[in-house]
Chains A and B, each alone.
Chain A
Amino acid sequence: MAKMNMIQALNSALDNMLEKDPNVVSFGEDAGYFGGVFRVTAGLQEKYGLDRSFDAPINEAAIIAMAIGMGVKGMRPVAEIQFADYIFPGLDQIVSELSRIRYRTAGQFTTPVTIRTPCGGGIRGGQTHSMSPEAFFTQIPGVQVVMPSNPYDAKGLLISAIESDDPVIFFEPKRLYNGPFDGDPGKALETWGKHPKGEVPEEHYSLPIGKAEVVREGNDVSIITYGTLVHVALAAAEREGIDAEIIDLKTLVPYDIETIAKSVNKTGRCIVAQEAPRTSGFGAELAAQIQEECFYALETPIYRIAGWDTPYPHAHEWAYFPGLTRFTTAMREVLEA
């Protein structure tokens, strides 16, 4: 075991996979020689060579299409999109191509592409470095969608993503790269050093895609979330002394309905939380499915915490980010209802 932040854990996953499988390659804008603007691919070109980890031209559509072609030829490409906000020029390649190769060729061709991309706010990135666009991708049959919330999960899930024969969109909540974040921007930065999930094996291991984790057990309300907000939910429950059960989804497609339903059937109250805008967000899918599965156990309506239906503002970032106050308000309302 070693102490790793999320960047190092992701780097370690790529390192293990480049070592283990000669068909794995990693590429993206500034991701080769320099090792990525967030340094996730640092040192890999030096270690594995120019054709295993390399710089790509600034063209997200071409980057994703190149990955598709390589995957069809039996490679396991890992493409980095520098910010999730910049994935959209490549959306057509994901929606119309990547996701459907298996289906439209009746399985004659497949392409096991992994697309890694940092997402989420809380870094004063303004509207073009803060988005959480995961819900768009959950609307695309044929791609899996993953978003870890800590270094240990990040490594195990990235390895599973690369090894998966289905394409994976792998979101990395960049606010968590260097430490957990409880939603209070005024506090000194925390590191992963003291966090149990900052303990990461250096060797290869994988965690199953599609499996959620109960990160805090409780009886009064279930909070279902993923990414950065897992830490905000935990902090809010601690601060309010509420007996909340908190579920870190980790995978959005396919999400772990069993773990969710078990929890909601126990607590009878449910909050779903996402950083993305509220309308048609992933929380809406969760709420719909949960009410189908757990209707008779529910004592109150399912409560949605989300970003506002606006672009991500720069100066008023903390008025946008669903922080501690919105969680504590939600818990009180749900428990008093």
Chain B
Amino acid sequence: MTQSDPRFHVPAPHARPGDTPDFSHIEIPPAGEARKPAVDIDGSETRDLALGLVRVLDHNHQAVGEWDPKLDADVLREGLKHMVLTRVYDDRMLKLQRQGKMSFYMKSTGEEAVAVAAAMALDNTDMIFPSYRQQGILFARGRDIVDMMCHCISNSRDNLKGRQLPVHYTWAEGNFFSISGNLTTQFPQAVGYAMACQFKGEKQIAASWIGEGSSAEGDFHGALVLASTYKAPVILNVVNNQWAISTFQGVARGQGNTFAEKGLGYGLASLRIDGNDFLAVYAATQWAAERARAGHGATIIESFTYRADAHSTSDDPSGYRPKAEEEKWPLGDPVERLKQHLIGLGEWDEERHEALEKELNELVIASYKEAESHGTLHDGPLSPTHTIFEDVYVEPDWRLRRQRQDLGV
């Protein structure tokens, strides 16, 4: 059999291993160009925003245009700190995974702004239905790092009792729901939760995140139709980091122009934003939250970004995309961009940045030492073995009691 032209359309990315990374096809409108409508705008009137790209930081790292959230320098520095911490933590955890300290890990490198800025723009009481790449939310909400690590190394202090894969955090006190290994399942759940907030007359809203690959699932469309039909106070985020494991975003997008555009068919307010721009993510989330809280309904936000590292520790991107493609990403690096913005404002400098990195590195190293004192996956102690029979039901029935006896624990 010889290879011939495909008889139906099969999309392919612009560059594969061995090719020169090529993003020339990506149109980047100038920062500050997008209009910022009133929060009660009819969803169907957001077409330009779904097809454009909300950007605040320009190529000189200055904040421009209507979407500039005009944040205090203190808030910007706090955001920078959470993003640097996310990156330092991810780097450290990857190393530790390579040393066999945990079974699995997933980094969020390059996507720190998507999580951190959104978390900061929301109220801490708003409910988060995350995917596995928004660890930045936990840092922004002040989750204890040692606790996060204890979960990842599945030890005796893991608040999930070793039941979940690493990075599948849950933190009820922080209004951080759970991370399902099954893609997109929580997207429509977030809508239900948001409806319940309204039902109970509370001002709380819900926000959920999925990857662009996951938007192909039926649950994505389920969430959108629910959000639209019931005008639910929810923010539905699609993180378009260009890659779903080895599959480029075109396979999930199809012939559509953008992922945000998919919201228009449902009459939802639909925004496409520069996900590597801390200020754009902050402003868009703030806008959508205000809209939701005021009873004007849901917003879908596509954060346009790039997955700068492997999908997970089980993945090697050199098999499907050009080496160092991330360095060519036309929207740069979110940490570097916020840093330069602060420097430009005269509110930050290289020395302080270096000192911050050093401080956070030391914090992460010290935290790991402490986490390990509560055990590791391989050497224990773990949660007591009998806990595998708990929480299946309120109370174990006769089968589980008997099975626990059989196991002798």
Contact = CB atoms under 8 A, between A and B. Distances in A.
B158 A49 contact: no
B180 A128 contact: yes
A22 B162 CA distance: 48
A58 B214 contact: yes
Contacts of B1: 18-19, 22, 47-49
Interface in A26-67: 29-30, 32-34, 37, 46-51, 54-59, 61-62
Interface residues of B, number: 54
A86 interface: yes
B10 to A, nearest CB: 4
Interface stretch (A238-246, A267-275, A309-317): A309-317
B325 to A, nearest CB: 15
Interface in A271-292: 278-279
- Which of A46, A57, A88 is most buried by chain B, counting CB atoms within 10 A of its CB? A57
Contacts of B392: 309-311
Contacts, number: 141
Contact of B403 (A32, A58, A126, A278): A278
A85 B182 contact: yes
B388 A310 contact: yes
A316 B403 contact: no
Contacts of B403: 278, 308-309
B99 interface: no
Contacts of A314: 103, 154, 162-165
A34 B162 contact: no
A89 interface: yes
B306 to A, nearest CB: 18
A276 B375 CA distance: 29
Interface string B1-29: 10110111010100010000000000000
If over half of A's interface residues share one DSSP class (helix, strand or loop), that class is named, otherwise mixed; here it is loop
Contacts of B16: 33
A316 B162 contact: yes
B218 A308 contact: no
Nearest to A56: B251
Interface residues of A, number: 45
B96 interface: no
B407 interface: yes
A30 B165 contact: no
B168 A126 contact: yes
Interface in A302-337: 308-311, 313-316, 319-320
A124 interface: yes
A58 B183 contact: yes
A127 B181 contact: yes
A319 B385 CA distance: 7
A279 B388 CA distance: 17
A129 interface: yes
Interface in B367-407: 377, 382-383, 385, 387-389, 392, 399-400, 403, 407
Contacts of A313: 162-163, 388
B10 A51 contact: yes
Contacts of B229: none
B313 to A, nearest CB: 11
B245 A37 contact: yes
B226 interface: no
- Which of B180, B387, B403 is most buried by chain A, counting CB atoms within 10 A of its CB? B403
10 contacts: A30-B247, A34-B319, A57-B216, A58-B184, A58-B244, A59-B217, A126-B163, A278-B403, A308-B389, A311-B392
Closest 4 A/B residue pairs (Cβ): A315-B162, A128-B181, A34-B246, A57-B216
